[in-house]
Amino acid sequence: MTFTLRRRQFAGVAAVLAATLVTSTACSGDGNDNASGNNSNTGGTIELTVDTFGNFGYNALFKQYEAAHSNIKIKPRNVVRLDDYTPRLQQWLAAGSGAGDVVALEEGILVQFKNQSDKFTNLLDHGAASMQGNFLDWKWELGKAKDGKLIGLGTDIGPLGMCYRTDLFEKAGLPTDRDEVSKLWSDWNAFIDTGKKFAAANTGAKFIDGANAQFNTVLIQEAGKSLGYTYFDKDDKLVFDSNPAIRTAFDTVVRMMQEGLSANLASFTPEWAAGFKQGSFAALACPSWMLGIIEDNAGADGKGLWDVAAVPGGGGYWGGSWLAVPSQSKHQAEAADLVKFLTSPESQLAAYEAANTFPSTTKFYKDAAITEHKDDYFNEAPVGKIFGEGAEQVKPVYLGEKNQNVRQEVENVLLAIGQGSLSPDQAWQRAIDAAKSAAR
């Protein structure tokens, strides 16, 4: 009896220990992640931490840089979702430690961080001025804070296309050739009509993935054509209910959902990622950087199933980033050199070839490396030509300081419509309220 009791006690203790171990490792995993920031200077080599999100296509470039600089070791830290990346970066900057030596700033969060320009190194102090001529003018200008400091050097821009599954289009009796597909949708109305035909064929899949990608695309197109800003005007005043571009984008996407075209998946969630593998949807608006994400999600089995056509409603771009060096970095000069290397036309071309992040430097726009660039994962689609055509005509759209907060709220409301929890009229009012609350 005593023996069993002891054994039981022992088992109990073991169980408790195991539980603590599990929880403490769970915590320490996170802790390590956060703590290992910018410093560690071991044995004469300098370690530079690079914070990115999504897929920047930098792995080969990092190796190349390390090979050329024996004293530099690069530690990449990548987060899948931008929405997880931003608050962490903000906390690191406010706390004064933890951020990488090089951090990526996406267009939607750029203004938020530019407004804290004291937290970043002025790249002009590190000889970036000579690079100005490489960039699209607006891309260079947007990297500057109000006080004239150059916070970020441009990486990619996101010219728009429309990605589609050839096998599902074929099943639905639609053309599969990308030129013919592009002709199906000169504007978004035609896109919806095509969607209705697709839905009528009952392939078991939905036409589009969900509301988010389409909404963001229409919004940026409409804003580019008209006022040049989205949720916030250029004085950072919320104009959610008065900017017609928002209402147009909202109504367009609501119509897609009402016609039953949407799989109602929220972008960048695990279910959305699974949808690529399972063929849950046949099309989504894709800025060039989205190609890398599709490839990641659809995996090797998806090779050759996806193709790229022109986006409905004319050009435009969505996304694109800058690289910046936080002033908390202990190796600002080295970090700035790395930034200059990564944003040089040659590196941008290499990143482009790796992950379809379309360069913001114009040097190779007319070069065969881009114009003739084909992507074998996407059925040898001439992605260089598709995305390159509009790149130089892109008009920049101003995204306010709290852009990301408002965008997330709107995306939630759109998801709720898809789930049948809100009628479109209720939804518009709710979106207005949520935007106000998010912008406060």
Partner 1 sequence: MRVRARPADTAGVADSDTRAGVAGRAPADAPQRHKSTYAGSEAPATRRTSTYGARAREWLDRADVKFSPYAYIAPFFLLFTVFGLFPLGYTFWVSLHDWELVGGREFSGLDNYRLILTDASFWNAVVNTMGIFVIATVPQLLVALLLANALNRRMRGSTVYRMGVLVPLITSTVAVAIVFTQLYGRDFGMVNWLLGLVGVDPVDWPAHKWSSWIAISTMVDWRWTGYNALIYLAAMQAIPVDLYEAAAIDGASRWRQFWQLTVPMLRPTIIFTVIISTIGGLQLFVEPLLFGSGTYYGGSLGQFQTVTLYMFENAFRRNDYGYGATIAWMLFLLIVLVSVLNFMIIRRISSTK
Query: In the complex, which residues of this chain contact partner 1 (CB under 8 A)?
Result: 4, 7-8, 11, 15, 18-19, 22-23, 26, 81, 83-84, 87, 90-91, 94, 115-116, 263-264, 266, 269-271, 274-275, 278, 280, 405, 408, 412-413, 415-416, 419-422, 430, 437-438
User: How near is the Cβ of 110 to partner 1 at its closest, in Å?
Assistant: 15
Residue closer to partner 1, measured from CB, 18 or 129 = 18
User: Running DSSP on this structure, what letter comes out for residue 205?
Assistant: S
CB neighbour list of residue 66: distance below 8 Å, 6 or more residues apart:
72, 73, 74
Structural contact between residues 310 and 189, judged by C-beta atoms closer than 8 angstroms: no
Residue closer to partner 1, measured from CB, 60 or 274 = 274
Q: How far apart are CA 117 and CA 213, in angstroms?
A: 30
User: How near is the Cβ of 326 to partner 1 at its closest, in Å?
Assistant: 14
Q: How far apart are CA 346 and CA 131, in angstroms?
A: 12
User: How near is the Cβ of 117 to partner 1 at its closest, in Å?
Assistant: 12
Residue closer to partner 1, measured from CB, 99 or 438 = 438
Residue closer to partner 1, measured from CB, 43 or 420 = 420
User: How near is the Cβ of 83 to partner 1 at its closest, in Å?
Assistant: 7
User: How near is the Cβ of 96 to partner 1 at its closest, in Å?
Assistant: 12
SS3 121: coil
Residue closer to partner 1, measured from CB, 64 or 412 = 412
Least Cα distance to 313 among 283, 271, 285, 275 occurs for 285
User: How near is the Cβ of 279 to partner 1 at its closest, in Å?
Assistant: 11
Least Cα distance to 440 among 408, 413, 414, 405 occurs for 405
Residue closer to partner 1, measured from CB, 37 or 320 = 37
Residue closer to partner 1, measured from CB, 177 or 271 = 271
Residue closer to partner 1, measured from CB, 96 or 244 = 96
Q: How far apart are CA 431 and CA 403, in angstroms?
A: 14
Tokens of 124: 């002009």
User: CB-side exposure of 293: number of CA atoms within 13 Å?
Assistant: 26
User: How near is the Cβ of 147 to partner 1 at its closest, in Å?
Assistant: 16
Residue closer to partner 1, measured from CB, 92 or 198 = 92
**Phi, psi angles (nearest 5°) of residue 76:** -80, 140
User: Running DSSP on this structure, what letter comes out for residue 311?
Assistant: P
How are beta strands 317-324 and 281-287 bridged, if at all? unpaired
User: How near is the Cβ of 431 to partner 1 at its closest, in Å?
Assistant: 11
Least Cα distance to 53 among 83, 91, 79 occurs for 79
Give the sign of the dihedral formed by CA 76, CA 79, CA 82, CA 87: negative
User: How near is the Cβ of 82 to partner 1 at its closest, in Å?
Assistant: 12
b/e map of 16-54 (b: 16 or more CB within 10 Å)? Answer: eeeeeeeeeeeeeeeeeeeeebbeeeeeeebbbbbbbbb
